[in-house]
Copies of this chain bind each other. A is one copy, B any other.
């Protein structure tokens, strides 16, 4: 690989790493809140998942990501992944409560 190409690639990767660090800390904050939601749901015996809420989240995030130039479907697939992890935890909290 030519030195200029390597330097350019390294520069891009540095920015990706910075963004990934932000994503980690943002997700940590998100999990802190979804954990509180999970506890609240467990305490009041509410269902772990809420299809109506999820549909609203999905529609809002697809609108937002279209504005931001993200391909349709990506955010919805990402949300499936994250909600899947969150619902797993809510079910655990319910079992342990």
Contact = CB atoms under 8 A, between A and B. Distances in A.
Given A19-B33, A24-B75, A85-B74, A9 B40 contact: yes
Nearest to A20: B61
Interface string A46-75: 100000010001001100110011100011
21 contacts: A1-B44, A5-B40, A5-B46, A9-B40, A12-B36, A16-B37, A17-B57, A17-B60, A19-B30, A20-B60, A23-B27, A24-B61, A27-B68, A27-B70, A27-B74, A28-B68, A28-B70, A77-B81, A78-B81, A78-B82, A81-B81
Interface of A: 1-2, 5, 8-9, 12-13, 15-17, 19-34, 36-37, 40, 44, 46, 53, 57, 60-61, 64-65, 68-70, 74-75, 77-78, 81-82, 85
